[in-house]
Structure 1
């Protein structure tokens, strides 16, 4: 292997940082969505474009786990990615005013756990606060 073919360390770090933030934002949005649905809120509090972008990003990051390009606190499988894709579609439908199936909450919990394991609820709360600060243009606390 020639040195030019090796990935730049800075590039690898940037990719890992991107993947981590994609997963963190996804679990934050999942938390916001499920809480709003459980409360029966008409406004689910998430911009549909932000949902789409985040869910596409987390699916790519999850495939990096599946393909062995990165590791995390859990072992992510193809089935986990398929579950996330289903959540992506159901969440998009709910955000556009469509159906809010009862399976959405349990599916969301399973998807969040596939990313962060047992700690997902704590991380989801932290991510939600970070997302709110980000969306309001404030520095996260």
Structure 2
């Protein structure tokens, strides 16, 4: 086994920083999309206001980021558990169906609130409004 050179260490640190940034972005984007979905569900809007492919990509990334928390590779504003990841997967599946014009069970709204709280704690609503602003104006 050889010791890492300074260059290898710097590359590893950069990779870790990039991975941490991805986990943050994934969770912030997920929060924004979940909030948009929840608001549309609450208003009983016909159009849920979230692009299905953006939902799909973001939810997959958010689930990965949450597993990084569970596995102890990253830390966040809350402690993410396997139950939180499973709840997010249910939201992902149910949200995808609703965005495709399928069923919108009453549980979907409640589940969306629970998932936002698992990502950002009790301050999820303020964080969600900021996330939505970022989704609408990425240059913010």
Name the structure 1 match of 2:35.
31
Per the TM alignment, residue 42 of structure 1 is displaced from its structure 2 partner at its CA by 1.0
Match of residue 134 from structure 2: 130
Structure 1 match to 2:121: 117
Partner of residue 24 from structure 2, selected from 20, 26, 37: 20
Number of matched residues? Answer: 136
Counterpart residue number, 1:53: 57
Runs of 4 or more above 2 Å deviation: 4-7
Shift of 1:41: 1.1
TM-score by length of 2: 0.92
Unaligned runs of 5+ in 2: none
What is aligned with 1:3? 4
Q: Secondary structure at the match of 1:8?
A: helix
Partner residue in 1 for 2:74: 70
For residues 14 and 44 of structure 1, what CA distance do their matches in structure 2 show? 32
Deviation, 1:43, is 1.1
What runs of 5+ residues in structure 1 fail to find an aligned partner? none
Secondary structure at 1:64's aligned position in 2?
Answer: helix
Q: Deviations over 1:5-37 (max 9, x none)?
A: 766111111110110010000010000001011
**CA distance in 1: counterparts of 2:53 and 2:131, whole angstroms:** 18
